[in-house]
Amino acid sequence: MKLNKNFSLLLLGQSLANIGDVLYIVGVISTIFVLTGSAIAASFVPFTIASSMFISSLLTPLLVEKLNLKWLLAGSQIVKTILLFILGFMLIGLTAANYYFIFLIIGLIAFFDGCANPIRQTLTPHYVKPEHLIQANGIAETITQTIQAGMWFVGSSLLIIMSSQQLIWLVGCLFVIASILLCLLESVNHETTEQKGKLEKIKEGWKTLSNTPVLRRIAWIEFLETIAATVWIAAILYVFVNEALNVDEKWWGFINGANFLGLILGSAYCIKFSSFVEKKIGTFIFVGSFASFLFTILFSINSIPMISLLLSLCVGLFGQIKKIPQQTVIQTSVSKEQLSTVYTSLGAIGTGIFGVGSLVMGVLADLLGIRIVFVISGLLLAIVSTIAHKNKQLFVRNVMEQ
């Protein structure tokens, strides 16, 4: 697959923005912890971001109706850039007495960031031919997971040689370049349906999910998988390493890294064998979900650190082998005009359920034990594999022109 100009610009612009997102969060968490000495205060950063992105996912359909998709994506990045520079200047006079103002800015940045991912996924089928969607989704996922895996380490390392404020200025430069690249995208024809009330527009994506059989199943899969995925957050995995494996903290990094490596390998497989994956989309979604269930259960009962590394890698690998074909099914199951509202609704499920699920899994880990929450995660994935098996015939790429 030869990357066309628009998809390349979209990918590069979003990648720079994603790199900046991770780096500025590292800087903000470091600043708050230095000012307050409170881990709880620092932990409110990801909570604030998740909450703002959830609200954004609910309200983005209103913006989609009014704005061109290309300019909605570029405009949100420009506003994020302006807010980031405000944050940089704010850090100059920040003290332990007024640090909470920082949460307002990061909440606003996250709000505008909340529409970026669904819009990027919506624009992909506009810029990529249907037969190249699996490869395009695989490339995008590979880059995204590489950024997620590497930038936390890079950000932490950069704080050794520069201050948090200097890190924010560096991110500001990345955001400026990202904004320029996204402005260079070609506008797409995105016909909106008849004018509707605000509430109707917000409900449109949810109605599409409910009325489209394959999307209704995928929504349930997203719901269950999101809860299952909360056991892999840093706090729960850290406890598992200490209590279940009885090894020191460095193994938390190893296991986390193995999971990310699995995600990257899964993406690479889908890129390399995209034609084969496309012919067997339903099978790959089922096999990926069943293997994820199996390896998660094995992870929950295992006590050997090296085997945990391998199992973590396998969970990431098969999870990604399932996710990328699933993205292609979503992108071709409805018209391109409906796609943005579908993605914002799925995004709301992801952010909302992940926030609540993380809290619930944390409580269950304290009450029932750390191994039990991984068993629960595995059982949820077993239900997902059952849904995938029963509905394999629905999981296909719609070859009709949208």
CB-based contact 145:260 (threshold 8 Å): yes
What 3-state DSSP class applies to 51? Answer: helix
Q: Where are the beta strands (DSSP E) in 175-331?
A: none
Could you tell me the residue ranges of all domains in the chain?
5-183, 198-394
Q: What is the pLDDT of residue 401?
A: 44
Alpha-carbon gap, residue 174 to 276, rounded angstroms: 37
Alpha-carbon gap, residue 14 to 24, rounded angstroms: 15
How deeply is 295 buried, as exposed, middle or buried, from its count of CB atoms within 10 A (0-12, 13-18, 19+)? Answer: buried
* Contact residues for 120 (Cβ-Cβ < 8 A; gap 6+): 10, 14, 73, 140
Q: Is it true that 5-183 and 198-394 share their CATH fold? A: yes
Closest CA to 2 of 176, 131, 154: 131
- What residue has token string 């606003």? 108
Closest CA to 352 of 263, 222, 256: 222
Taking the model in full, what pTM does it have?
0.77
Helices (H), 94-163: 101-113, 116-127, 133-161
Q: CATH number of the domain at 198-394, out of 1.20.1250.20, 3.40.470.10, 3.30.70.141, 3.40.50.300?
A: 1.20.1250.20
Alpha-carbon gap, residue 53 to 302, rounded angstroms: 36
Alpha-carbon gap, residue 302 to 240, rounded angstroms: 11
What 3-state DSSP class applies to 163? Answer: coil
CB-based contact 202:61 (threshold 8 Å): yes
What 3-state DSSP class applies to 367? Answer: helix
Helix axes 39-66, 101-113, angle to 10 degrees: 40
Per residue of the chain (402 residues), give pLDDT as tens.
566 889 999 999 999 999 999 889 888 888 887 887 766 676 677 778 888 888 888 888 777 767 788 888 999 999 999 999 999 988 887 777 778 888 899 999 999 988 887 888 888 888 888 888 888 888 888 898 888 777 877 887 888 888 888 999 999 999 999 999 999 999 887 655 555 666 777 788 888 888 989 999 999 999 999 999 988 876 688 788 888 999 887 787 788 888 888 999 999 999 899 889 988 999 999 999 999 999 999 999 999 999 999 999 999 999 999 999 998 899 888 887 788 888 888 888 888 888 788 778 888 888 998 899 999 999 999 999 999 999 888 888 765 444
The class of domain 5-183 in CATH terms is: mainly alpha
Closest CA to 143 of 276, 22, 233: 22
Please report, for the chain, how many H helices and E strands are present, in that order.
Answer: 16, 0
